[in-house]
Structure 1
Amino acid sequence: MSMKQGSYREPYFACKRASMSSGSLGLVRLVCFCCPGMFNVINGMGAGGQMDDNTAKNGNVALYACFAVFGYLGGGFYNILGGRLCLLFGGLSYALYSGSLLNYNNTGNAGFVIGASAILGVGAGILWTTQGVVMMAYPAEDQKGRCVGLFWIIFNLGGVMGAFIPFGLNFHSEAGAVSNSTYLAFLVIMIIGAIAGLTLLPPEKVVRDDGSRVHVEKFSNVWHEIVEIVKLFTDKYMLLLIPMCLASNWFYSYQFGAVNGVLFNLRTRSFNNAFYWGFQMIGAFALGTFLDNPRFDRRARALYGLAIVGAMFTATWGGGLALQLQYTREDHPKNIDFIDNPGAFWPKWLLYVFYGLCDAALQTYAYWLMGALSNDSTVLARYAGFYKGLQSAGGAIAWRIDAVNTAFLTQLIISWALFTVSLPFTYFIAKDVKEINNVEEGKETIEA
């Protein structure tokens, strides 16, 4: 029996299919591991690890305000400039921010921190839009939940590993600020991540593991892109998603500032952060796996997933309320240490890491839900930008609320209430989820 030429090609093309989509997904995970992952470590230490938390809070307001604008416009930047330049610029903006904190440690220049925060808002909006496109458009439909979950695992692995940098470097430190070597380490890692983004494969060259191609709408002109972005506010599903967009990062200022930032000493804050991001990995893996479970149709997974996230948030924030009723902004425990004060530490630690678990579950669900609405990378770029823009607008408001010394209990109530309000709106999206969207791609495949 003679062998056909195609029999030699199959292993090669099978490998190419895996490397094209999976390789691009892996690259974006690496960039986010190095850049946003390290930023989360810095932010999670409370006031960027610095003694002057007011500077960091005002910087966060500038960051999220710019993030809101350029996140919303990020889909346009991606469709015009392409993913490589977006990842490069976005990654370098994270490095600049880390450099500003290094400078602040030596000069106390608050203006540089706030200016770098604003630039980071621009870069982060563009980077996260690119991340959203790759995560939602590049995988096959039956792999989107796992791909979102795996992204969140790798991204938060950066947070876990990065948290041990300040933990080790400041283990014996009595100071309230992080050392120069800590910020230098973050700076180097972020630059590496930014440069790695230049190797991203464009969507039109991507072939998924199942042989299908990523659908790309041919770019016409800048004006058309602006019109399409503005039209998102007439999209029924995007309008319904607004409450969840706002709620999805609102709670960071409370969790990082009112819990981790004020109750613990520096090394314990770093220790807590490692597990906060670690539990995010667990939450992302568990929910991402469920959202791809073939035992249920996709609409059922959308509805059950929403119920799971809602139950997790309700239970965790109920525990948060019980803790918050024990202290105020003006009168609270200080410098709790995970070694010296185990009785006071571990219950608060458990609550804090469950905050992280809930965060990852919410982000995983939101991205999976948007990815279930379309497979068109051009459309998903706009969806991702819309989500990140409004998410960051919520973050900017929340950080400003904290910066004007709003009571911790008030911040908790707003965060919890905003999420709860988002649930019925999101339900109306979930109930309309279709089993497949491949029809819009014309089922174009690459045969082995």
Structure 2
Amino acid sequence: MGFLDRFRGASYFSPMTQVVLVGFVCFLCPGMFNALNGMGGGGQVDRTTGNNANTALYCTFIIFGVLGGAIVNLCGVRWTIFGSGLTYALYSSSYIYLNHTGNGAFTIAAGAILGIGAGILWAAQGMIMVSYPREEEKGRYIAVFWIIFNMGGMLGGILPFAINYHSTKDSLSDGVYIAFVVLECIGAALGLALAPPAKVVREDGSSVVLVKYTSVRIEAVEILKLFMNPMMLALLPMCFASNFFYSYQFGPINGSIFNIRTRGFNNIFYWGAQMIGAYALSFLLDNQRMTRRTRGIIALAIVAVFFNVVWGGTLKLQQKYTHGPLPNGETTDYPGGLIDFLESKRAAGPIILYTLHGVGDALYQNLAYWVIGSLTNDGQKLSRYAGFYKGIQSLGATVAWQLDAKSVSYMNQLIGNWVLLAISMFPMFYVVYTLKDHSEEPTDTKPTNYYDEEEKA
């Protein structure tokens, strides 16, 4: 069955429909957030407030990322996603206040609140994306989600590009932030359209929910076990590094050498390239002619080579400048000043390089989710694994955003990213090498708390 054929004839209660729905939730919520972050400093000329808000965000994300799986298991996916989506709208609206007052306290507080919502939302999203499909379809389902999700980043790049096309300001206008708020509210409401997991049935008639009992005590114990799980411990470097590079890509690259409209233009390609990378990798990850271990090793080799080539090119670019626009009005020291996309000779190379970073992000993240999804088919375990992944990922992001906030040199940020990514490859190889062709199956079939409640709702 072809890639697009998966969409045809899918009923509301099919796994594909649910993955598409959660994809559109993330298209409108995290997708818009990514677009805003991709502008560098949330679209502000002074990145300090945006960097501090991201630090606050990822500090709370660390905690609620790890706890997110338990919260989803206890409370269900629909209302947790709805409430989490609203925290994205609150964060975007805080920049309107910042535009008019110059006071970053509200934005930083909104970032901390968003970290709570994001931790829960991504745990729910991860559970749906990697536990609903059959084993041989997980690569495709991850790609379908990633394509829809990153359409949000593309749209979020188009909005500031179009609205600020004739602007001479270095910060985004209120209109852009208002558009983000409206779209994020729609995304939150879309979370209520998700079906209760107990009603979702695969094409072969099997239920996606087999493990059906949980409680606060059970979830607390299971979360503690994550930190003693050999596979999770081996994946710690992968989790830590998986969002570390965003602060460097969005700030020292996109936010430092391009003007405001070109930053939005660049993000159209950055997030669009992610769709291509995810789609291409899915064919390898679901190739049933090879063992799961072989697929994983080849995918890891591709990711390793790609990252080293792209970061090597980035090193060459970084040697040309040391800083971006400064609050005192000083412009970047990049040769010739800020780049506009219409300056084709100056713009082509840096824009292509930034786009390739988007491809690399998709390859790394899709492989990470596929590896996690290959460890088990148990939906409740996968919600905890996804939460663990996002929690440790947020720990890395917290460090990364503070490096930029504390004005660590761009070259040192680049070296730190490159080293972390290289280190993460070795334990990832160990986990991939131990993968079996069939994941463990859940065995507990006792009745549940939240699934029953969601079904009644």
CA positional deviation for 1:109 = 2.6
The 1-side partners of 2:151 and 2:237 are apart by 28
Match of 2:314 among 315, 320, 327: 320
Aligned residue identity for 2:250: F
When you count helix as a share of all residues, which structure comes out higher? 1
Q: Does 1:156 align with 2:150?
A: yes
| Counterpart secondary structure, 1:73 | helix
Q: Does 1:103 align with 2:105?
A: no
Q: Which residue of 2 aligns with 1:411?
A: 413
After TM superposition, list the pairs within 5 Å mapping 1:193-204 onto structure 2.
193-204=187-198
| Counterpart secondary structure, 1:386 | helix
Q: Which residue of 2 aligns with 1:304?
A: 298
| Counterpart secondary structure, 2:320 | coil
The 2-side partners of 1:15 and 1:172 are apart by 45
| Counterpart secondary structure, 2:334 | coil
Q: How many equivalent pairs are there?
A: 429
Q: Which residue of 2 aligns with 1:332?
A: 334
Q: Which residue of 1 aligns with 2:289?
A: 295
Q: Which residue of 2 aligns with 1:359?
A: 361
Q: Contact 1:90–1:126 at 8 Å: present in 2 too?
A: yes
Aligned residue identity for 1:321: L
Aligned residue identity for 2:431: I
Q: Does 1:20 align with 2:14?
A: yes
The 2-side partners of 1:19 and 1:71 are apart by 27
The 2-side partners of 1:377 and 1:220 are apart by 12
Match of 1:129 among 123, 126, 130: 123
TM-score by length of 1: 0.93
The 2-side partners of 1:320 and 1:216 are apart by 47
CA positional deviation for 1:191 = 0.2
After TM superposition, list the pairs within 5 Å mapping 1:242-321 onto structure 2.
242-321=236-315
TM-score by length of 2: 0.91
Structure 2 gap ranges (5+): 1-7, 325-332, 446-457
CA positional deviation for 1:438 = 6.4
CA positional deviation for 1:223 = 1.8
| Counterpart secondary structure, 2:227 | helix
Q: Contact 1:283–1:358 at 8 Å: present in 2 too?
A: yes
Distance change (3 Å), C-alpha of 1:377 and 1:328: same
| TM-superposition CA deviations, 1:323-370 (whole Å, max 9, x none) | 11122127334321011x222111001110000000001000000111
Structure 1 gap ranges (5+): 1-13, 444-448
Q: Which residue of 2 aligns with 1:222?
A: 216
Q: Contact 2:27–2:151 at 8 Å: present in 1 too?
A: yes
| TM-superposition CA deviations, 1:22-80 (whole Å, max 9, x none) | 11111100100000001111110111111221111111110111111110111111111
- Superposition CA RMSD, Å: 1.6
| TM-superposition CA deviations, 1:395-434 (whole Å, max 9, x none) | 0000001111001010000001001001110111101111
Distance change (3 Å), C-alpha of 1:124 and 1:442: closer
Match of 2:439 among 437, 440, 444: 437
The 2-side partners of 1:324 and 1:193 are apart by 37
| Counterpart secondary structure, 2:434 | coil
Aligned residue identity for 1:79: N
Q: Contact 1:37–1:162 at 8 Å: present in 2 too?
A: yes
Aligned residue identity for 1:344: R
Q: Which residue of 2 aligns with 1:71?
A: 65
Aligned residue identity for 2:409: A
Q: Contact 2:10–2:16 at 8 Å: present in 1 too?
A: no
Q: Contact 2:90–2:110 at 8 Å: present in 1 too?
A: yes
Q: Contact 1:279–1:353 at 8 Å: present in 2 too?
A: yes
CA positional deviation for 1:204 = 1.9
The 2-side partners of 1:210 and 1:297 are apart by 22
Q: Which residue of 2 aligns with 1:85?
A: 79
CA positional deviation for 1:21 = 1.1
Identity of aligned residues (%): 49
CA positional deviation for 1:441 = 5.8
| Counterpart secondary structure, 2:376 | coil
The 1-side partners of 2:221 and 2:210 are apart by 18
| Counterpart secondary structure, 1:27 | helix
The 2-side partners of 1:59 and 1:439 are apart by 41
Q: Does 1:389 align with 2:391?
A: yes
CA positional deviation for 1:256 = 0.4
The 1-side partners of 2:440 and 2:245 are apart by 36
| Counterpart secondary structure, 1:431 | helix
Q: Contact 1:20–1:201 at 8 Å: present in 2 too?
A: no
Distance change (3 Å), C-alpha of 1:157 and 1:40: same
Stretch moving more, 199-208 or 412-421: 199-208
Aligned residue identity for 1:423: M
| TM-superposition CA deviations, 1:228-253 (whole Å, max 9, x none) | 00110111100000000011000111
CA positional deviation for 1:290 = 1.4
Match of 1:375 among 370, 374, 377: 377
| Counterpart secondary structure, 2:165 | coil
Q: Which residue of 2 aligns with 1:184?
A: 178
CA positional deviation for 1:19 = 4.1
Aligned residue identity for 2:344: P
| Counterpart secondary structure, 1:406 | coil
